[in-house]
Amino acid sequence: MTHPYIPNTDQDARLMLEAIGVPSIDALFEPIPAAVRLHRELDLPPALSEPDLLAHLGALAAQNADSSKVATFLGAGAYRHFAPCFIDQLLLRSEFYTAYTPYQPEIAQGTLQAIFEFQTLVCQLMGTDIANASMYDGSTAMTEAAMMACRMTKRDRVVVARTVHPHYREVLDTYAKNLGLTIVEAGFEADGTIDRAALADAARGAAAVILQYPNFFGVIEDPREAVEIAKAAGALSVAVVTEPVAMGLLVPPGSLGIDIVAGEMQAFGAPVGFGGPYCGVMAASEKCMRQMPGRFVGEATDTEGRKGYVLTLATREQHIRREKATSNICTNSGLMALAATMFMAAYGKQGLPALARLNFDKAHYAREAIVRAGGKAGVTARFAGPFFNEFVVGGLGDASAAQKRLLGSGLVAGLPLGRYYPELQDSLLVCVTELNGVEDIDRLAAALAG
């Protein structure tokens, strides 16, 4: 019997075997030594019909906390924002999502133009000269930025602030270990910003100085100081942006002299989706163009003189330079980049600042409400530094236990920081976006108070 995804019938197969000149399907597999052919059926769960499959998946999904069941105040590199409905409907245009890498530009102008628009929007958002066609995610983008800085400076030491997302630093460590690079971390001050003295000290002889903007604690670091420190040390400055909505309110890193921006664009149109797929991106000043990993789309002219778009600068890539390539990456996050493109175009010049402002207002209301309600119980704002839509509350005793307690009231309170920062065992990283209503915020404030 055929399966809905497999058109050949047994009769078709017989005709085809005859044309090939072999007696059976089995005979097609004879190039595989008999001893290592599989002589049994795989041990897999039984096939499910489409309705049964959906029922089964629905039951699995029902065990998970989504926004219909709980009020979530988690951010930490994955942000819940409203994406206009047209975005997902257009992502489901199968000419977009069932297409491959646009190696044949004549029949991929849709993908190519959309990426060109993405590159432009990212440059405008981040204040940079160039941007690539996207990366796997923010953590790998940051790591690639560090490696690029090492190539460009011919140095092998990278300085990264401890206020950069812990997962990003873990990924950097993993890559560095295998390449013999040294990673030095600079700690943070009582207000939640980088310890500048430590940073300046570590920067000497380094390839890159990496900070996050706003940082992992939600605190708005001033990149200008890091830029000066990096410049003085002959290092490149790298800013990580995990919450691009903040760029609606903040002067972008490229305009502040940052050399390389390693960003995560998930907030723009991709669901939090238990961690992926997301949309990393790398943007930078012009001087990085031929060292930057990943794909680029560029303008081109066809034989009739008409303008269009092609993948370009491919000589840096693995399919040509093989072991000399600038990276081994041969994927971008095309569909997520398309979502981000539509998101940026939809919110546009007026909407992105408005969205950013709403996030800012709600988060500031929330921190005040939490501290006011919890003050007596010792709940505090952990850091005094300026913040955007995330902040740390301390004084919770064991923050993990506090988070667990709140689950019972349908609240996912925030991220307990003890796993990543042992000194912040009593603290939660709380994120508030435009999707957290005031009633839920007040409920969280009351619940955290006791």
Partner 1 sequence: MTTADHRDQLIFEQGTPGQRGYSLPAQDVPSAPLEGAIPEGLVRREVSGFPEVTEVGLVRHFTRLSTWNYGVDTGMYPLGSCTMKYNPKVNEAAARIRGFAELHPLAPDDVAQGALALMHALVQMLGEITGLPAVTLQPAAGAHGELTGMMMIRKHLTTRDGNPRKVVLIPDSAHGTNPASAHFCGYEVRQITSCARGNLSVSALAEAMTPDVAALMLTNPNTLGMFEDEICEAAQIVHAKGGLVYCDGANMNALIGRARPGDFGMDIMHLNLHKTFSTPHGGGGPGSGPVVAVKEMEPYLPTPVVVATRDGMHLDYERPLSVGRVKAFHGNFGMLVRAYAYIRSLGAEGIRKTAENAVLNANYVRARLRGTYEIPYDRLNMHEVIFSDHKQNEYGITTLDIAKRLIDLGFHPPTIYFPLIVHGALMVEPTESEGLAEMNRFVEAMQQIAEEAKTQPEMLKKAPVTTRRSRFDEATAARKPVLRWKAGL
Question: Considering only residues 220-249, where is the footprint of partner 1 by CB under 8 A?
Answer: 220, 222, 224, 247-249
Contact 429, 366 (CB under 8 A): no
Indicate if the alpha-carbon torsion angle 140, 145, 149, 151 is positive or negative.
positive
Question: Can you tell me the distance from the alpha carbon of 199 to that of 438, in angstroms, rounded to the nearest whole number?
Answer: 39
Does 287 bind partner 1 (CB under 8 A)? Our answer is no
CB of 300 to partner 1, least distance (A): 4
Contact 25, 32 (CB under 8 A): no
Query: Taking contact as CB under 8 A, which single stretch among the options 199-207, 228-236, 323-331, 373-381 is the one that binds partner 1?
Result: 323-331
Question: Can you tell me the distance from the alpha carbon of 273 to that of 44, in angstroms, rounded to the nearest whole number?
Answer: 26
DSSP 3-state of 446: helix
Query: Taking contact as CB under 8 A, which single stretch among the options 105-113, 184-192, 195-203, 227-235 is the one that binds partner 1?
Result: 105-113
User: Interface residues for partner 1 in 189-218 (CB under 8 A)?
Assistant: none
Does 384 bind partner 1 (CB under 8 A)? Our answer is no
Does 267 bind partner 1 (CB under 8 A)? Our answer is no
232 versus 345: smaller Cβ distance to partner 1: 345
159 versus 336: smaller Cβ distance to partner 1: 336
CB of 8 to partner 1, least distance (A): 5
State which of residues 130, 152, 260, 261 lies at the interface with partner 1 (CB under 8 A): 130
State which of residues 346, 380, 418, 443 lies at the interface with partner 1 (CB under 8 A): 346
Residue 260's contacts (CB-CB under 8 Å, 6 or more residues apart) are: 145, 148, 149, 208, 236, 237, 238, 239, 282, 283, 284, 285, 288
209 versus 399: smaller Cβ distance to partner 1: 399
204 versus 262: smaller Cβ distance to partner 1: 262
User: Beta strand pairing status for 280-284 and 130-131?
Assistant: antiparallel
Dihedrals φ, ψ of 101, to 5°?
Answer: -50, 130
Does 100 bind partner 1 (CB under 8 A)? Our answer is yes
Does 302 bind partner 1 (CB under 8 A)? Our answer is yes
234 versus 388: smaller Cβ distance to partner 1: 388
CB of 204 to partner 1, least distance (A): 25
Q: Which string of DSSP letters, residue by residue, matches 140-179? A: HHHHHHHHHHHHHHT--EEEEETTS-HHHHHHHHHHHHHH
Does 154 bind partner 1 (CB under 8 A)? Our answer is no
Does 398 bind partner 1 (CB under 8 A)? Our answer is no
* C-alpha 335, offset from chain centre: 13
User: Interface residues for partner 1 in 31-50 (CB under 8 A)?
Assistant: 31-33, 35-38, 41-48, 50
- H/E stretch holding 407: helix 399-407
Does 13 bind partner 1 (CB under 8 A)? Our answer is yes
User: Interface residues for partner 1 in 161-180 (CB under 8 A)?
Assistant: 165, 167-168, 170-171, 173-175, 177-180
Does 57 bind partner 1 (CB under 8 A)? Our answer is yes
State which of residues 319, 377, 397, 398 lies at the interface with partner 1 (CB under 8 A): 319
Q: Within a 10 A sphere around the Cβ of 17, how many other Cβ atoms?
A: 15
Residue 269's contacts (CB-CB under 8 Å, 6 or more residues apart) are: 83, 87, 336, 339, 340, 342, 343
